[in-house]
């Protein structure tokens, strides 16, 4: 049996742990740049604030209803997440950390065990030790555990936050209740297509022919169908596979048309990727650069483009990665476009101890020493003390974070004080 543990309104719950005045009040946490709502308390949901609501459009509703608004504080959420995960791993060695607020547990040999009350214990312990409320769904497959979890969240009074699907009757009842668009793995587009052919619930989906699902929704869709039918095909992924790409992408405050300004940003993004690479001891052998205009300004010229640049040898040097990123930008940059967003993604990662050498061209060995020195100075003196000439030398672009809460658990001088 699989259990899916999901933290309720996770980011809001993290803020509430250290600020109990927020309990029973509408609270939202905004995305990076204070762009849109990405976590809402139940009270905020009841006000009709949808997921992804742009903050500027909901300003009035926030004020009118005294909604408590926070910028996202990822260091805090990451730390709270690892506390929750470490409690969960006390209950079983078979755990897959699926995201910052979710984990799958696998229970083997629990056939004669009361899983429901076992999971109640887990729930109570997590709440007692961290202050984070969670919901648990238990079922024979991962996709059904997701469904069960949804039920436990939707009906907290009846389920007490834990729901078990352990019979055909319960499975079918749950699938008939679940809208097709709410099924894990069915996104916006597939939902639209399925509703067009009168597939409205998860149960309807399971009544489709395997061949149709395979043809129209690939093996991914077919796997999902099997899972919903109760045949487990997705197993726990316990060891986290190393990253395959590292991205640094940002939206701009306004829009940018000037090549030099975009170049400065791209160069900074590239260096940020290089730093991330070095911190996990990796190299990359290709760099993807993209730019795009503001998709919401429909009356203006729309342009989006990206390009993959391959380096002759694998590297994590600021200079090389920045150089190729800027080279790529030069190829895709178009004049008279209002750019809103850009980014660099490094791909083809391998370990820096074990990377492919090139017979003819290799990195200047001085780079390695230089990067080591730069990392050392940045660590000691703070980020962005050292810059490449291609970066913006005057000011440092900063993310908008006007409503940031303190880093209660990860910065000594911001630790909570008890009087």
Q: Which residues bind DNA (CB under 7 A)?
A: 31-33, 35-36, 38, 52, 54, 56-57, 98-102, 146, 183-191, 218-220, 241, 243-251, 253-255, 276, 286, 294, 296-297, 306-308, 310, 340-341, 343, 345
Nearer to DNA, 93 or 187 (CB): 187
Q: Which residues contact 189 (CB under 8 A, 6 or more apart)?
A: none
Smallest separation, CB 382 to DNA (Å) = 19
Smallest separation, CB 419 to DNA (Å) = 35
The DSSP secondary structure of 323-366, one letter per residue, reads: HHHHHHHHHH--TT--EEEEEEEEES-EETTS----SS----HH
Nearer to DNA, 118 or 149 (CB): 149
Smallest separation, CB 251 to DNA (Å) = 4
Mapped onto helix, strand or coil, the DSSP state of residue 222 is helix
Smallest separation, CB 388 to DNA (Å) = 19
Contact predicate 1/140, CB 8 Å: yes
Smallest separation, CB 235 to DNA (Å) = 13
Nearer to DNA, 27 or 29 (CB): 29
Nearer to DNA, 252 or 259 (CB): 252
The helix (run of H) or strand (run of E) holding residue 166 is none
Strands 282-293 vs 134-139: parallel, antiparallel or unpaired:
unpaired
Nearer to DNA, 118 or 228 (CB): 228
How far is 13 from 161, CA to CA, in rounded Å?
A: 15
**49-81 b/e with 16+ CB inside 10 Å = b?**
beeebebeebeeebeebebbbbbbbeebbeebb
Smallest separation, CB 366 to DNA (Å) = 28
Task: Supply the Cα-derived Rg of the chain in whole angstroms.
Answer: 24
How far is 226 from 245, CA to CA, in rounded Å?
A: 30
The helix (run of H) or strand (run of E) holding residue 97 is strand 95-99
Nearer to DNA, 117 or 299 (CB): 299
Residue (of 232, 3, 238, 6) closest to 106 by Cα position: 3
Helices 10-17 and 74-88, packing angle to 10 deg: 100
Nearer to DNA, 325 or 345 (CB): 345
Contact predicate 28/43, CB 8 Å: no
How far is 210 from 65, CA to CA, in rounded Å?
A: 49
Smallest separation, CB 290 to DNA (Å) = 9
Smallest separation, CB 36 to DNA (Å) = 5
Smallest separation, CB 101 to DNA (Å) = 5
Q: Which two tokens stand for residue 309?
A: 């640049």
Nearer to DNA, 19 or 32 (CB): 32
Q: How many CA atoms lie within 13 A of 401 on its CB side?
A: 11
Contact predicate 403/30, CB 8 Å: yes
Bridge-partner residues for 345, per DSSP? 247, 288
Nearer to DNA, 118 or 174 (CB): 174
Nearer to DNA, 43 or 101 (CB): 101
Smallest separation, CB 70 to DNA (Å) = 14
């Amino acid at each position: 049996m699989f259990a899916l543990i999901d933290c309720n309104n996770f980011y809001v719950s993290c803020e509430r742990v250290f600020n109990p005045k927020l309990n029973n009040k509408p609270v939202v946490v905004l995305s990076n740049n204070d762009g849109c709502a990405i976590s809402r308390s139940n009270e905020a949901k009841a006000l009709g604030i949808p997921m992804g609501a742009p903050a500027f459009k909901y300003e009035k509703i926030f004020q009118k209803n005294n909604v408590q608004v926070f910028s996202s504080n990822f260091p805090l959420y990451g730390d709270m997440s690892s506390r929750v995960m470490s409690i969960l791993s006390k209950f079983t060695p078979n755990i897959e950390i699926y995201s910052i607020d979710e984990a799958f547990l696998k229970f083997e040999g629990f056939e004669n065990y009361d899983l429901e009350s076992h999971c109640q214990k887990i729930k109570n312990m997590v709440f007692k030790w961290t202050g984070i409320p969670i919901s648990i769904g238990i079922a024979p497959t991962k996709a059904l555990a997701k469904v069960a979890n949804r039920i436990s969240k939707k009906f907290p009074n009846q389920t007490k936050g834990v729901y078990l699907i352990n019979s055909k009757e319960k499975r079918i009842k749950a699938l008939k209740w679940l809208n097709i668009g709410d099924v894990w793995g069915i996104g916006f587009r597939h939902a639209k297509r399925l509703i067009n052919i009168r597939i409205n619930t998860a149960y309807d989906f399971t009544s489709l022919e395997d061949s149709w699902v395979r043809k129209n929704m690939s093996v991914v869709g077919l796997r999902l169908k099997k899972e919903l039918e109760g045949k487990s095909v997705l197993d726990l992924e316990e060891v986290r596979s190393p990253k395959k790409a590292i991205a640094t992408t940002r939206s701009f405050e306004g829009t940018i048309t000037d090549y030099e300004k975009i170049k400065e940003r791209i160069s900074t993004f590239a260096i940020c990727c290089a730093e991330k690479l070095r911190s996990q001891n990796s190299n990359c052998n290709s760099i993807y650069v993209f730019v795009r205009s503001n998709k919401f300004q429909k009356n203006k010229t729309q342009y989006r483009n990206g390009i993959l640049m391959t380096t002759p040898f694998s590297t994590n040097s600021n200079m090389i990665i920045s150089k190729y990123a800027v080279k790529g930008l030069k190829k895709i940059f178009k004049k008279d476009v209002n750019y809103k967003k850009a980014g660099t993604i490094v791909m083809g990662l391998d370990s820096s101890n074990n990377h492919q050498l090139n017979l003819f061209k290799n990195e200047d060995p001085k780079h390695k020493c230089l990067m080591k020195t730069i990392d050392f100075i940045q660590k000691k003196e703070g980020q962005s003390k050292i810059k490449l000439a291609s970066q913006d030398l005057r000011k440092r672009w900063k993310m908008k974070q006007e409503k940031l809460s303190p880093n209660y658990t990860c910065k000594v001088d911001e630790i909570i004080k008890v009087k």
